[in-house]
Amino acid sequence: MPPTRGIQAIAAAMLGGSPLDLGESEAGGGGGSSSGISYLHRNVAGFVNSERLTDSTVFLFWAPKTNIVQSMTSIQARAGAHSYSVLIGSGLLATIGERIGEKLRPPKQCAIISDTHVAPRFAEEVEKSLSAAGFQPMLVEVSAGEQFKTLEQAGSICERMLHSGLDRQSFVVGLGGGVIGDLSGFVAAIFERGVPHVQVPTTLLAMVDSSIGGKTGVNTTAGKNLLGAVHQPTLVIDDIDTLKTLPRRVLRQGFAEIIKHAVIADAKMFQDLKNETGSAAVSLQTLIQRNVEIKSNIVAKDEFDRTGGRAVLNFGHTIGHGIERASNYEILHGEAVSLGMIAACMISIQKAGLPQGTLAALADLLQRFGLPIRLPERFSHQRILDALKFDKKFENGEIRFVVTPKIGSAQLSRDVTMDDIREALQAL
Ligand code: NAD
Ligand code: ZN
């Protein structure tokens, strides 16, 4: 396995080897029943401390087998009138039943929606924990892949749930990456006109991005995510042990969204990522926490994407989605967003006064995380331009384009034309 660099190396170290390894987790407590503190007290001999921060509680505890101080973070994410906990830590899958039991009382039937890559690895542990807590889970396994995030798939899952006797008292657990998060969330939004949704993201992208904010949906032949609903989760559980089995290319997709968050909202995180500093034991968890906070703070200001506040999250995505679509999804979302961010920076230099040097700094950072900064040779620009018109970010033919005047801030511009985009593509 080639050595990884920086935070990726930290991620690899923390995850017990390379992200491609399938090693078993040794850390983390099991069992426990009520609040984080008593859970940790009861199950782990060396409970160290807990610290209440503004919106989150960090529980530090001692994992006896590894002699590493571990922590579980609980963040309160807000969206309009809703508020939900996001738990981040190690070994959380084994306690999922109790965690959900704190929010939804058994006996309740539930559907665990997962895919063919994730279910064989993690569904049994989740089912066991839910059953032990008094719930009645049924597993619905769907084929892995973006092409299966469809209305037909959502309908067929609902039919299976109805045939198995699930009703309006039931709830849905989405166990998987962003595809499963979006699909299971959409099912939860429409099943019996809406049942609770528990997000259990198993990719870095899903932890830092798609599981937060309540956007759910499916793709159509006309484009991605064109049908959907805003349906906030009841609880989000990020078990970072699940990232151990993530292929490296998939892990990178998450870093594209993390770098996007840094560009639009957190100059310090941008610098930290550049410096590649940080303590190995806490970095990945802290990084996920910081990104959950960034996304949920932005969503809290504009839950339904109406005032433009939430739109800044689309930085790099207008052109990114065009590239993704034009490549027939062979270029993955995060890779396309990486290219889209480079193009958006070029446009920001023209339209928002972004200093030239920032483009080089961003390109350097993206490359360090193995993300592309140039289009493949002979990639058709026209296909990208054609694909753009399917994007939801076009309103009445006008482009809602997100620009950045400096790292750490972003704004919507109505000043960007198709010619600007064409020009940026030529330089990409
Ligand atoms: P994904 O869900 O397709 O997962 C990528 C691949 O990794 C899949 O093959 C999956 O089966 C596999 N996988 C997942 N977890 C694994 C694990 N722990 N070990 C091994 N393999 C694992 O893709 P993604 O990048 O997580 O999510 C992309 C999706 O998220 C897109 O559909 C996108 O539209 C959506 N998204 C939604 C939002 C939102 O706000 N709702 C935001 C961003 C992205
Ligand atoms: Zn994205």
The three-state secondary structure class of 65 is coil
In a domain, 316, yes or no: yes
Domain of 89, in residue numbers: 74-246
Q: Whose alpha carbon is nearest atom 33 of ligand 1?
A: 178
Separation of CA 214 and ligand 1 centre (Å): 15
Please indicate, yes or no, if residue 59 is contained in any of the structural domains: no
Candidates 30, 137, 37, 181; CA nearest to 92 is: 30
pLDDT of residue 13: 44
pTM: 0.85
52 CA to centre of ligand 2 in angstroms: 30
Classify residue 327: in a domain, yes or no. Answer: yes
Same domain, 367 and 225: no
* CB 272 near ligand 1, within 6 Å: no
Nearest ligand to the CA of 229 is 1
- The pLDDT of residue 323 is 95
Per residue of the chain (428 residues), give pLDDT as tens.
Answer: 333 344 444 444 444 333 222 222 222 222 222 222 222 222 222 333 344 333 445 554 444 444 444 567 888 998 777 889 999 998 899 999 999 999 998 889 999 999 999 999 999 999 999 999 999 999 999 999 999 999 999 999 999 999 999 999 999 999 999 999 999 999 999 999 999 999 999 999 999 999 999 999 999 988 788 999 999 999 999 999 999 999 989 999 999 999 999 999 999 999 988 876 444 333 688 899 999 999 999 998 888 888 878 999 999 999 999 999 899 889 999 999 999 999 999 999 999 999 999 999 999 999 999 999 999 998 999 999 998 876 656 666 678 899 999 999 999 998 899 999 999 999 99
**Do 260 and 346 fall into the same domain?**
yes
Single out the residue of 241, 234, 260, 115 nearest to residue 177, CA to CA: 115
Q: Is residue 119 within 8 Å of 245, Cβ to Cβ?
A: no
- Report whether 385 contacts 379 (CB < 8 A): no
Q: Please report whether residue 21 resides in a domain.
A: no
Q: Are both 174 and 224 inside the same structural domain?
A: yes
What does the pLDDT read at residue 365? 95
Instruction: Please answer whether residues 36 and 57 qualify as being in contact, where contact means their C-beta atoms are separated by less than 8 angstroms.
Output: yes
Is there an atom of ligand 1 within 6 Å of 245 CB? yes
pLDDT in the model for residue 203: 97
Q: Can you spell out the DSSP letters for 40-62? A: HHHH-TT--EEEE-SSEEEEEEE
- Note whether 341 and 351 are same-domain residues: yes
Same domain, 90 and 211: yes
The reply to whether 224 and 255 lie within a common domain is no
Q: Are residues 141 and 223 in the same domain?
A: yes
pLDDT of residue 392: 58
Q: What are phi and psi for residue 51, nearest 5 degrees?
A: -130, 125
Of 220, 246, 272, which residue constitutes the final position of a domain?
246
- pLDDT computed for residue 72 by the predictor: 77
Among the bound ligands, the one closest to the CA of 215: 1
Q: For the domain that residue 371 is a member of, what is the CATH number?
A: 1.20.1090.10
332/220 same-domain check:
no
Q: Is residue 402 part of a domain?
A: yes
Centre of ligand 1 from the C-alpha of residue 334, in Å: 10
Shared-domain flag, residues 217 and 91 = yes
C-beta of 113 in contact with ligand 1 (< 6 A): no
- pLDDT at residue number 126: 98
192 and 273 together in one domain: no
Residue 334 Cα: closest atom of ligand 1? 25
User: How many distinct structural domains can be found in the chain?
Assistant: 2
CATH number at residue 116: 3.40.50.1970
Q: Please give the pLDDT value at position 286.
A: 86
Residue 129 lies in a domain: yes
Output the pLDDT for position 195: 98
Q: Are residues 223 and 283 in the same domain?
A: no
